[in-house]
Amino acid sequence: MPAEPPDPVELDLSGLKCPLPVLRTRKALRRLSPGAVLAVLSTDPLAAIDIPHLVRSEGDALLDQERRDGAIRFTIRRGPD
Q: What is the pLDDT of residues 17-65, one digit of tens each?
A: 999 999 999 999 999 999 999 999 999 999 999 999 999 999 999 999 9
Can you give the residue ranges of every domain in the chain?
9-77
Query: Where does 9-77 sit in CATH, by number?
Result: 3.30.110.40
Identify the pLDDT of residue 1. 52
**Predicted model pTM:** 0.91
Contact in structure between 73 and 65 (CB atoms under 8 Å)? yes
- Quickly list DSSP for the chain: -PPPPPPPEEEE-TT--TTHHHHHHHHHHHHSPTT-EEEEEE--TTHHHHHHHHHHHHT-EEEEEEEETTEEEEEEE----
- Considering the candidates 9, 16, 18, 23, report the single residue annotated as catalytic: 18
Q: Annotated catalytic, 18? A: yes
Q: How far is CA 12 from CA 1, 4, 9, 24, 39, in A?
A: 32, 24, 10, 10, 8
pLDDT band, residue 4 (cuts 50/70/90): low
